[in-house]
Amino acid sequence: MELSVVMPCLNEAETVETCVRKTIGFFEDKGIDGEVVIADNGSTDGSQQLARDAGARVVPVIDKGYGNALMGGIRAARGRYVAMGDADDSYDFTTLGPFLDELRDGADLVMGNRFKGGIADGAMPPLHRYLGNPVLSFVGRLFFRSKIGDFHCGLRAFDKDAIMRLGLQTGGMEFASEMVVKATLQGYDIREVPTTLSPDGRTRAPHLNTWRDGWRHLRFLMLYSPRWLFLIPGLVFMTLGLLAGIALSTGPVTVGEIAFDVDTLVGASAALVIGFQAVLFALLTKVYAMQEGFLPHDRRVQKIIDWWSLERGLLIGGLLAVAGLGGLIASLLHWRVNSFGELDPRHSLRIVVPAATALVMSFQAIFASLFVSILGIRRRQHPPLTDPAEEAAGVVDAAAHRARRAAEQAEEPAQAEETVAAKPRPSAKAKTKANPKSNPKPGPETKAEARAEGGDEGGDERGDESGASER
């Protein structure tokens, strides 16, 4: 099967039948081997039966949420390609031809773009049209260097195997962003097709919640970009704090009529510490995400990790600690010079604040080095002492050897019987007649021979003995 069209459904009785019939008509007109999959998320209005009557295959999905419903439908899809769209009749499924053409041409993901195709009056709330979607799409392009103009278009198509390899996890509306972000990070071939958005055919309120779902999209974009969440803000704080701290460590700084003194120095110290902590968080987050497969491998981060070993981290932390302790000792000497009396904060804080800042940063560096080393621990499975293949071959060889030995042992008695039967042996009576004195009385050997000959010349042992005595 070439194409499966998956529609998430939660109480869409007013529109689901229309969407299914339009899609099946598209298949018939274009000669496409396709199917419609309704991923039902617990409808209570009879949507399931309406969809079946229209020709769709209904797949129940227990876990609630837009993303969960879609993933349930995608997993159940039988087509090589999958197109997804809402079952509210806001998208025209008869326009899937350009999407399928791009997939046939080698694209991994084909996105619809409502801003290029057109948004009909009343199809999208003004807040979504002019603020929500443009801002979130801009954030996605900025954070992940994507070229997609409409991150949240509900009509899209993709290669099923390629999307399944992404390991999509989110269960809500942010599923739309996750697909684009992960496909971009993996270097997929992503293309756009202009798409028209029409007013949906429902009379009830939509499932989308403006602020809740908007925040979920923004939160996902930030969490998947440690660079913008931690690194860049941390570098900004560190730079401002370091420059201000250096300038204020020697004396007040006046800018026009505004004088910056030790109070600003304390703030600069806090900014430096916060920025340093944020940079360390960016590194730790990136290492964890790389090792767990959430984010692709980054060679620059790997170089930093390779250089920043536990020993180097401890050395850097130790040097900062020595500098901080040196500053504290200098502050004690300064206090001693003043006979341990009252000090002028404008002078004493210029020694104490940098010293305390260095001491705090030293522990941050040490703890971060230890944590990076912990993240670097791998779970290893030691190989077995013996190779399973060799052990199995040994078992087979041993069984074959035992079978051969058993066969040889079974053949030996048969061969002995054949040899005895082939060699004629005189009976006891013949021996006696030929040489009566040679064996006047049968001994144990004579009895054994008689038994071996089967008793045909004299019956059993008792008969042989009586015959011998008569002779």
Of 9-13, 149-153, 258-262, 382-386, the poorest mean pLDDT is in: 382-386
Measured between alpha carbons, how far is 66 from 39 in angstroms, rounded to an integer?
A: 10
pLDDT at 465 over 50: no
Kindly report, residue by residue over 168-189, the tens digit of the pLDDT: 888 888 898 999 999 999 999 9
DSSP 302-324: HHHHHHS-HHHHHHHHHHHHHHH
Q: Stretch 452-468: mean pLDDT, rounded?
A: 40
Measured between alpha carbons, how far is 84 from 105 in angstroms, rounded to an integer?
A: 19
pLDDT at 236 over 90: yes
DSSP-derived pairing of the beta strands 190-194 and 34-40: unpaired
According to the model, what pLDDT value does residue 169 have?
A: 85
pLDDT band at 420 (very low <50, low <70, confident <90, very high): low
Give the burial class of 50: count Cβ atoms within 10 A of its Cβ; 0-12 exposed, 13-18 middle, 19 or more buried.
buried
Round the average pLDDT of the chain to a whole number and report it.
Answer: 82
pLDDT at 58 over 90: yes
Measured between alpha carbons, how far is 224 from 233 in angstroms, rounded to an integer?
A: 15
Percent of the chain scoring above 90 in pLDDT:
46
According to the model, what pLDDT value does residue 50 have?
A: 95
Give the burial class of 203: count Cβ atoms within 10 A of its Cβ; 0-12 exposed, 13-18 middle, 19 or more buried.
exposed
- Please give the CATH number for the structural domain made up of 3-223: 3.90.550.10
Kindly report, residue by residue over 126-139, the tens digit of the pLDDT: 888 888 889 999 99
pLDDT band at 424 (very low <50, low <70, confident <90, very high): low
Structure token digits, residue 96: 């899937």
Q: Stretch 298-316: mean pLDDT, rounded?
A: 83
Q: Stretch 377-394: mean pLDDT, rounded?
A: 58
Measured between alpha carbons, how far is 154 from 206 in angstroms, rounded to an integer?
A: 14
**Helices 262-292 and 232-248, packing angle to 10 deg:** 150
DSSP-derived pairing of the beta strands 190-194 and 253-255: unpaired
pLDDT band at 455 (very low <50, low <70, confident <90, very high): very low
Measured between alpha carbons, how far is 72 from 93 in angstroms, rounded to an integer?
A: 20
According to the model, what pLDDT value does residue 269 have?
A: 94
105, HSE (Cβ side, Cα atoms, 13 Å): 13
**Tokens 């060889």 appear where?**
397
According to the model, what pLDDT value does residue 153 have?
A: 92
Considering only the C-alpha atoms of the chain, give the largest distance between any 2 of them, rounded to a whole number of Å. 155
Measured between alpha carbons, how far is 319 from 362 in angstroms, rounded to an integer?
A: 8
Neighbours of 134 (CB within 10 A): 15
Measured between alpha carbons, how far is 449 from 361 in angstroms, rounded to an integer?
A: 106
SS3 102: helix
Question: By the 8 A CB rule, do 383 and 282 touch?
Answer: no
pLDDT at 458 over 50: no
Question: By the 8 A CB rule, do 261 and 245 touch?
Answer: no
Of 137-151, 208-222, 412-426, the poorest mean pLDDT is in: 412-426
Element (H, E) at 38: strand 34-40
Kindly report, residue by residue over 9-42, the tens digit of the pLDDT: 999 999 999 999 999 999 999 999 999 999 999 9
pLDDT band at 196 (very low <50, low <70, confident <90, very high): very high
> Could you give the residue range(s) of every CATH 3.90.550.10 domain in the chain?
3-223
Bigger pLDDT: 296 vs 286: 286
Cα Rg of the chain (Å, integer): 44
Bigger pLDDT: 41 vs 374: 41
DSSP-derived pairing of the beta strands 109-113 and 156-159: antiparallel
DSSP 351-410: HHHHHHHHHHHHHHHHHHHHHHHHHT-----PPPSS-HHHHHHHHHHHHHHHHHHHHHHH
Report the range out of 178-187, 217-226, 341-350, 448-457 with the highest average pLDDT.
Answer: 178-187
According to the model, what pLDDT value does residue 387 have?
A: 56
Question: By the 8 A CB rule, do 99 and 113 touch?
Answer: no
According to the model, what pLDDT value does residue 383 have?
A: 55
Bigger pLDDT: 466 vs 246: 246
According to the model, what pLDDT value does residue 390 have?
A: 63
Of 50-64, 365-379, 445-459, the poorest mean pLDDT is in: 445-459
pLDDT band at 419 (very low <50, low <70, confident <90, very high): low
Measured between alpha carbons, how far is 84 from 96 in angstroms, rounded to an integer?
A: 10
8, HSE (Cβ side, Cα atoms, 13 Å): 24
Residue of 210, 218, 158 whose CA lies nearest to 186: 158
pLDDT at 440 over 80: no
pLDDT band at 60 (very low <50, low <70, confident <90, very high): very high
Residue 463 to residues 223, 431, 440, 445, 457: CA-CA distances in angstroms? 107, 16, 16, 16, 9
Residue of 359, 351, 280 whose CA lies nearest to 317: 359
Measured between alpha carbons, how far is 403 from 82 in angstroms, rounded to an integer?
A: 58
Q: Stretch 55-72: mean pLDDT, rounded?
A: 93
Report the range out of 254-263, 372-381, 456-465 with the highest average pLDDT.
Answer: 254-263
